[in-house]
Amino acid sequence: MDFPTWMAAVQARTEAALERYLPPATAAPARLHAAMRYATLGGGKRVRPLLCHAAGALFDTPPADFDAPACAVELIHAYSLVHDDLPCMDDDVLRRGKPTCHVEYDEATALLVGDALQTLAFQVLAEHGGTAAMIALLAQASGSRGMAGGQAIDLAAVGKTLSVEELEFMHIHKTGALIRAAVLLGAHVGGADDKALIDLGHFAGRVGLLFQVVDDILDAEAPTATLGKTAGKDAAQNKPTYVSLLGLADAKRKAADLRGEAKAALAYFGERALRLQQLTDYIVDRRF
Ligand code: GRG
């Protein structure tokens, strides 16, 4: 199967699984459930589920076994986007090419959508074979020592000058922690040994930063119509980014270096790492 076909298949099975796990829009409280579905279904690249399945492809485990962990991570991601877009955070009106959740519904509903998506993530994992170690992994990646902590560092950094090291510390938490969890949950389900977990942890660390460097480059270069979210926001908000700290040319060199380091971390797996290698290329070459 070529990569675009594999990617489309994983995206489709993720959409179908999310559809199953989310409460129906007709169930009470119907407005909250409709808003949860609005924020989660029918959009997004599904990069984290793709990473979970691609890590799973290292092992002889059926794809269906990765649906729950892949969706659990995506539900956390969807919650983070809803909260990040709120007026008290990034205050954005466009996400995945449509009005943000609080614009389409209202702020209080959007707050509850985030809360409920987050708890649903852990319910899905717990009800579909997630071990205590896997649940702890996702909790740590989502919380104050992971994504939420990264968001706090980000909010505190607006208008400040950061070093590249400080910027990386923020991104390792804000974006990288969940990407790492996606890869490692896939590895756990596949029954990875200690060496595999260490190498995949290293791979995920490089990919997390790579994702963010490319995100910064796209924010500076791509139009809003392509991104499906407001372009040029980083510069407009005076946010430190790889592009503002390094300049565009060095940010692109950094992306090339990280791509190489990420792929080098996969050496132990040989040809079985094909999907992870292809996904690394996709993360660099994507247009939104
Ligand atoms: C509110 C606790 C809390 C955390 C928010 C991840 C995050 C932390 C905020 C998202 C804001 C943002 C633009 C982060 C930069 C990188 C990123 C996560 C981009 C969006 O992810 P994609 O490109 O989005 O995977 P899609 O829509 O494709 O799923």
Tens-place pLDDT, residues 223-246: 776 767 776 777 777 788 999 999
The dihedral built from the CA positions of residue 204, 91, 230 and 113, taken in this order, carries a sign that is positive
CA of 271 to the centre of ligand 1 (A): 31
Residue 64 has pLDDT above 90, yes or no: yes
Residue 217 has pLDDT above 90, yes or no: yes
Q: Which atom of ligand 1 is nearest to the CA of 142?
A: 2
Q: What's residue 287's pLDDT?
A: 78
Torsion angle defined by CA atoms of residues 277, 139, 101 and 160, in that order, rounded to the nearest 10 degrees:
-80
Q: What's residue 76's pLDDT?
A: 98
Q: What's residue 190's pLDDT?
A: 96
Q: Where are the beta strands (DSSP E) in the chain?
A: 94-95, 98-99
Q: Which atom of ligand 1 is nearest to the CA of 89?
A: 1
Identify whether the C-beta of residue 7 lies closer than 8 Å to the C-beta of residue 49: no
List the end-to-end C-alpha distance of the chain, in Å, as a whole number.
24
Task: Give the C-alpha separation, 109 to 125, whole Å.
Answer: 24
Residues with CB under 6 A from ligand 1: 44-45, 47, 77, 80-81, 83-84, 96, 147-148, 151, 174-175, 212, 215
Which residue's CA is minimally distant from atom 4 of ligand 1?
80
CA of 43 to the centre of ligand 1 (A): 13
The overall average pLDDT reported for the chain is: 95
Q: What's residue 157's pLDDT?
A: 87
CA of 75 to the centre of ligand 1 (A): 12
Residue 41 has pLDDT above 90, yes or no: yes
Q: What's residue 188's pLDDT?
A: 97
Percent of the chain clearing pLDDT 90 (strictly above): 88
Task: Give the C-alpha separation, 269 to 58, whole Å.
Answer: 7
Residue 161 has pLDDT above 90, yes or no: no
Q: Which CATH number fits domain 3-281: 1.10.600.10, 3.30.420.40, 1.10.357.10, 3.10.20.70?
A: 1.10.600.10
Identify whether the C-beta of residue 230 lies closer than 8 Å to the C-beta of residue 224: yes
Identify whether the C-beta of residue 124 lies closer than 8 Å to the C-beta of residue 71: yes
Which residue reads 């995506």 in tokens? Answer: 74
Residue 259 has pLDDT above 90, yes or no: yes
pTM for this prediction: 0.95
Identify whether the C-beta of residue 227 lies closer than 8 Å to the C-beta of residue 288: yes
Task: Show me where the domains of the chain are located.
Answer: 3-281
* Residue 176 DSSP class: I
Q: What's residue 210's pLDDT?
A: 96
pLDDT tier for residue 288 given thresholds of 50, 70 and 90:
confident
Task: Give the C-alpha separation, 34 to 51, whole Å.
Answer: 27
> Which SS3 state, helix, strand or coil, does residue 95 take?
strand
Q: Which atom of ligand 1 is nearest to the CA of 288?
A: 23
Q: What's residue 137's pLDDT?
A: 98
Residue 141 has pLDDT above 80, yes or no: yes
* Residue 172 DSSP class: I
Q: What's residue 229's pLDDT?
A: 72
Identify whether the C-beta of residue 23 lies closer than 8 Å to the C-beta of residue 32: no
Q: Which atom of ligand 1 is nearest to the CA of 86?
A: 1
Q: Which atom of ligand 1 is nearest to the CA of 228?
A: 27
CA of 268 to the centre of ligand 1 (A): 30
Identify whether the C-beta of residue 187 lies closer than 8 Å to the C-beta of residue 58: yes
Q: How many CA atoms lie within 13 A of 16 on its CB side?
A: 8
- pLDDT tens readout for residues 75-107: 999 999 999 999 999 999 999 999 999 999 999
CA of 179 to the centre of ligand 1 (A): 11
Identify whether the C-beta of residue 276 lies closer than 8 Å to the C-beta of residue 53: no
Task: Give the C-alpha separation, 61 to 53, whole Å.
Answer: 10
Question: Which of 6-15, 206-215, 228-237 shows the lowest per-residue confidence on average (mean pLDDT)?
Answer: 228-237
